[in-house]
A and B are shown apart, each in its own frame.
Chain A
Amino acid sequence: MAFVNWLKRHLVVVAGLLTLGYLLLPNVVVTVFSFNKPKGRFNYEWQQFSTDAWKDPCGVADMCGSLSLSLQIAVWATLGATALGTMIAFALVRYRFRARGAVNSLIFLPMAMPEVVMAASLLTLFLNMGAQLGFWTILIAHIMFCLSFVVTAVKARVMSMDPRLEQAAQDLYAGPLQTFLRVTLPIAAPGIAAGALLAFALSFDDFIITNFNAGSTVTFPMFVWGSAQRGTPVQINVIGTTMFVVAVLLVLVSMALGNRRNRQKA
């Protein structure tokens, strides 16, 4: 009875912790198995503790090359999609033009379309155009599917912006460029940052569209997929764990910075 009462009072916390565990368990497995010393080629059974893979993360042929390629593509795709997406978002919120409604709904299409279908259509398009498959086709494809996410994130922010703020800037001697740089952009920045992070994450681990349009180029997700069929090197777990830790650290640092700034001001 006492336990039932305790559970009633803490139900939300318990449910939250269970959900968190559900989310994090795969990451824990990845991390644990990065310290494994597998027998044979597959890293699916726990054998014994070892830090060999951590000491030599690039010890697998071609893996670090594919990782660096993926990071490059992700950075460029993020820059391209964020720049274009921000401009589209501003245009959709601020201006009334012909076919604005159509653009507004069409921009969501890449989100809704099954990825395989989009990948195949893109390949058809590239082949018909006689394009050389590789870095550039991957980049073009990534910018394309990241765009809708950036537009959605930035649009929400721009829509909630008070137009009087820009009028106030103009009233205080800021010309159009100054108004944009000093007021519009900083206020829209959280939306733009959210869009950019989303774009980076999507581009970095995209497999389906990349696989169709890469030609003989191999990105990191393609490398993992390929090696999973022949045997999984422990280094893949090392890279996965590192990515996870870096992401968590980034979040923690930004939270700490935000907290400190607030405490200083208060």
Chain B
Amino acid sequence: MTTDNSGDVRLSGISKTYGSFTAVHPLDLTVPQGSFFALLGASGCGKTTTLRMIAGLEEPSSGTVHLGEQDVTHLPPYKRPVNTVFQSYALFPHLDIFENVAFGLRRRGVKSVKKQVEEMLELVQLGEQARKKPHQLSGGQQQRVAVARALINHPKVLLLDEPLGALDLKLRRQMQLELKRIQTEVGITFVHVTHDQEEAMTMADTVAVMNAGRVEQLGAPTDLYENPQTTFVANFLGTSNLIEAEVDSRSGEDVVLRAGGGKLTLPRARCSAQATTGGKVLVGVRPEKISLTHADDAGEIPDGRNRITGRIADSSFIGVSTQYVIDSPVCPEFEVYAQNIDRDPRLVPGTEVVLHWNPAHTFGLDAAQDIDAGVGTVGEEAA
């Protein structure tokens, strides 16, 4: 392990207010050197403002920004060892691709830029386009120019502000992998702002989910997905089925809950709320963890699994999976994604079914929150 931490980004108590509006609440965040870090949230959640404070394009209302050991809070952007890939790229329209990429080197007084620029254009596969103007390139090519223009300066940290937002889906997937490859190759700290949860999970080592100017939860993508701590994270990252339940008793490592008529088991380690007997918690389970069994075959379900009864309200065939919406007494719209391996032809809308899953896949949340927080904000265009 290297002990070099000059590429650490450390935000301490940083906040931003515009008049009476607070865009970012005081926030502490450390991004370790060499990591791919994503700030994820819906539009207006403060993620871009946070990024711009690291770049120096916004002055924080309070708190400090450190890069490694250096306090850069009051340094102007052109004195920070940080470069940004802007949303919509902001390529200089009057300069050709070569000069766009060479811009940073020239401003720092580097004499012979030709070799470096050509190498960088090779890295992003644009060697042929060096003498074209930005408007003559496609969106994907412009995006790569923007990355090359920032990376050529070997910044301590590369900031990416919704860099893939303007690309179509296929190109976006391709660029996600490309950016990830470049990051692994150059080993620079990347801080990536996005509203696309899939993008954040594909690319980042660590994701911070932001909502209304605060970080809701921070962690590895799998950790965030499997163990959401708030309803916002549970709903914003993928889909969650949330059931209101009452704590019945505790047995060893598990909490036993009552929902509707049945009982559900929840591992205590996976419950972020206080589970006092008689209190309420929200029980969550992801749609792909659930199995569907026709009510006639209910006897074949092994013991020890959490079960709920219901009726299929709707089903849609997606190819790799079939998505069911189940009308259940404990939850009106329970979602289930079933792999199309052994499809039971009897499972059509109107059928009575039993839903069952391994209790280890259950998570518990504080019932005092809005159960629908973060629903429907996915995929919204960022401002």
**Known interface pairs A186-B94, A187-B93, A187-B94. Does A170 touch B76 (Cβ–Cβ under 8 Å)?**
yes
B24-32, B129-137, B292-300, B301-309: which one contacts chain A?
A: B129-137
**Min C-beta distance of A217 to chain B, whole Å:** 41
B84 at the interface (CB under 8 A from A): yes
Inside 8 A of A51's CB, which chain B residues have their CB? none
Using CB atoms, name the residue of chain A closest to B99. A182
B187 at the interface (CB under 8 A from A): no
**Min C-beta distance of B86 to chain A, whole Å:** 5
- A174 lies within 8 A of B90 (CB): no
- B93 lies within 8 A of A171 (CB): no
- A167 lies within 8 A of B57 (CB): yes
**Known interface pairs A183-B92, A187-B94. Does A175 touch B133 (Cβ–Cβ under 8 Å)?**
no
**Min C-beta distance of B306 to chain A, whole Å:** 51
Inside 8 A of A186's CB, which chain B residues have their CB? 94
A168 at the interface (CB under 8 A from B): yes
- A168 lies within 8 A of B84 (CB): yes
A98 at the interface (CB under 8 A from B): no
B39-47, B100-108, B334-342, B367-375: which one contacts chain A?
A: B100-108
Contact of A172 among B83, B96, B136 (CB under 8 A): B83
Q: Is the interface of A mostly helix, strand, loop or mixed?
A: helix
A169 at the interface (CB under 8 A from B): yes
What CA separation (Å) do A165 and B108 show in the bound complex?
18
Residue in A167, A168, A187 with the greatest tally of chain B CB atoms within 10 Å: A168
Residue in A164, A179, A189, A264 with the greatest tally of chain B CB atoms within 10 Å: A164
Inside 8 A of B280's CB, which chain A residues have their CB? none
A45 at the interface (CB under 8 A from B): no
A162 at the interface (CB under 8 A from B): yes
- B136 lies within 8 A of A171 (CB): no
- B90 lies within 8 A of A164 (CB): yes
- A162 lies within 8 A of B76 (CB): no
Contact of A265 among B78, B82, B133, B150 (CB under 8 A): B133
What CA separation (Å) do A148 and B86 show in the bound complex?
35
- B92 lies within 8 A of A168 (CB): yes
B34-57, CB < 8 A from A: 55-57
Number of interface residues of B (CB under 8 A): 30
Contact of B90 among A168, A178, A265 (CB under 8 A): A168
- B57 lies within 8 A of A172 (CB): no
What CA separation (Å) do A189 and B91 show in the bound complex?
17
Chain B 119-156 near chain A by CB (<8 Å), digits 1 or 0 = 00000000000011100100000000000011001000
Residue in A170, A189, A264 with the greatest tally of chain B CB atoms within 10 Å: A170
**Min C-beta distance of A170 to chain B, whole Å:** 4
Contact of B153 among A168, A172, A187, A189 (CB under 8 A): A172
B88 at the interface (CB under 8 A from A): yes
B260 at the interface (CB under 8 A from A): no
**Min C-beta distance of A262 to chain B, whole Å:** 9
Inside 8 A of A172's CB, which chain B residues have their CB? 78, 83, 103-104, 107, 149-150, 153
- A165 lies within 8 A of B92 (CB): yes
Using CB atoms, name the residue of chain A closest to B108. A173
A231-266, CB < 8 A from B: 264-266
What CA separation (Å) do A63 and B129 show in the bound complex?
55
- A173 lies within 8 A of B92 (CB): no
Inside 8 A of B78's CB, which chain A residues have their CB? 170-175, 179
Inside 8 A of A265's CB, which chain B residues have their CB? 96, 131-133, 136
Inside 8 A of B104's CB, which chain A residues have their CB? 172-173
- A171 lies within 8 A of B55 (CB): yes
Using CB atoms, name the residue of chain A closest to B52. A167
Inside 8 A of B79's CB, which chain A residues have their CB? 173
A161-200, CB < 8 A from B: 162, 164-165, 167-175, 178-179, 182-183, 186-187, 189
- A170 lies within 8 A of B92 (CB): no
What CA separation (Å) do A179 and B103 show in the bound complex?
11
Using CB atoms, name the residue of chain A closest to B86. A164
B77 at the interface (CB under 8 A from A): yes
B60-100, CB < 8 A from A: 76-79, 82-84, 86-88, 90-94, 96
Inside 8 A of B133's CB, which chain A residues have their CB? 265
What CA separation (Å) do A103 and B264 show in the bound complex?
71
What CA separation (Å) do A173 and B107 show in the bound complex?
6
Inside 8 A of A264's CB, which chain B residues have their CB? 131
10 extra interchain contacts, Cβ-Cβ under 8 A, other than A165-B92, A168-B84, A172-B107? Answer: A167-B77, A168-B92, A172-B104, A172-B149, A173-B78, A173-B153, A174-B103, A187-B94, A265-B136, A266-B136
Which 5 pairs from chain A and chain B are nearest by CB?
A172-B104, A164-B90, A168-B90, A173-B107, A170-B77
B contacts, CB < 8 Å to A:
55-57, 76-79, 82-84, 86-88, 90-94, 96, 103-104, 107-108, 131-133, 136, 149-150, 153
A contacts, CB < 8 Å to B:
162, 164-165, 167-175, 178-179, 182-183, 186-187, 189, 264-266
Identify 10 residue pairs between A and B in the complex whose beta-carbon atoms are under 8 Å apart, listed by A's number: A162-B88, A162-B90, A164-B86, A165-B92, A168-B86, A168-B90, A171-B84, A174-B103, A182-B107, A266-B132
